[in-house]
């Protein structure tokens, strides 16, 4: 009799465990997976411009690739190598190239945005360390939804943009 009660109790516990697991699986399936902008936008070929010692500023360049069906934008950037990091572009003002801060860098749905010398870039202002060729600099991008992605951008010699 005792053995029969143990077997019955074990059967009830097993049934309850299976039922609870099934409910948990249904609950997990009911919650849609949320993709953040950082999940949808990848960074290709990042690099930071090497500069001579003593120069206070540099810039980072990369290509942003959006694999989602939604537009996204980079709203800000940060790096431990600089006191201030800003999103910038170059504009031609009556034949004179000028750098200007921009509020965001847009990455269209299923599209690409290239950050390159003479165009959009991440400006590194007030360098906190020497930028040596062959080393890397961490650049963190913050998107419109607050998600972030960090890349370790190689520091490279870059020819100046032709005006």
Alpha-helix residue ranges (DSSP H) falling in 31-148: 37-40
* Confidence at residue 23, expressed as pLDDT on a 0 to 100 scale: 53
* Confidence at residue 154, expressed as pLDDT on a 0 to 100 scale: 98
Residue 51 belongs to some domain of the structure:
yes
* Confidence at residue 98, expressed as pLDDT on a 0 to 100 scale: 87
* Confidence at residue 9, expressed as pLDDT on a 0 to 100 scale: 47
Residue 68 belongs to some domain of the structure:
yes
Shared-domain flag, residues 4 and 54? no
Q: Which SS3 state, helix, strand or coil, does residue 8 take?
A: helix
Shared-domain flag, residues 99 and 148? yes
| Cα distances (Å, whole numbers) of residue 107 to 34, 61, 96 | 19, 14, 27
CATH of the domain at 90: 2.60.40.1890
Residues 105 and 60: beta-carbon distance below 8 Å: no
Tell me the pLDDT of the chain averaged across its residues.
84
- Tally of domains in the chain: 2
What is the Cα 53 distance to its own chain's centre?
Answer: 29
Shared-domain flag, residues 20 and 58? no
* Confidence at residue 10, expressed as pLDDT on a 0 to 100 scale: 44
Shared-domain flag, residues 13 and 51? no
* Confidence at residue 96, expressed as pLDDT on a 0 to 100 scale: 86
Shared-domain flag, residues 72 and 102? yes
* Confidence at residue 56, expressed as pLDDT on a 0 to 100 scale: 95
Shared-domain flag, residues 149 and 82? yes
The whole domain housing 129 covers 37-156
Helix (H) or strand (E) holding 32: none
* Below-50 pLDDT ranges, the chain: 4-20, 24, 26-32, 163
């Amino acid at each position: 009799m005792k053995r029969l009660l143990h077997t019955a109790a074990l059967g009830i516990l097993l049934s309850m465990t299976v039922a609870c697991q099934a409910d948990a699986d249904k609950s997990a399936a009911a919650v849609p997976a949320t993709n953040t902008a950082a999940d949808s936008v990848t960074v290709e070929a990042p690099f930071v411009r090497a500069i001579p010692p003593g120069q206070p500023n540099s810039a980072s360049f990369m290509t942003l690739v959006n694999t989602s069906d939604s537009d996204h934008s980079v709203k800000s950037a940060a790096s431990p190598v600089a006191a201030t990091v800003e999103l910038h572009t170059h504009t031609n003002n009556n034949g004179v190239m000028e750098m200007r801060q921009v509020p965001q860098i847009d990455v269209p749905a299923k599209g690409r945005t290239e950050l390159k010398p003479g165009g959009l870039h991440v400006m590194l202002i007030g360098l906190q360390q020497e930028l040596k060729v062959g080393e890397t600099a961490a650049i963190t991008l913050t998107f419109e939804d607050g998600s972030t992605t960090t890349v370790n951008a190689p520091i490279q010699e870059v020819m100046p943009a032709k005006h």
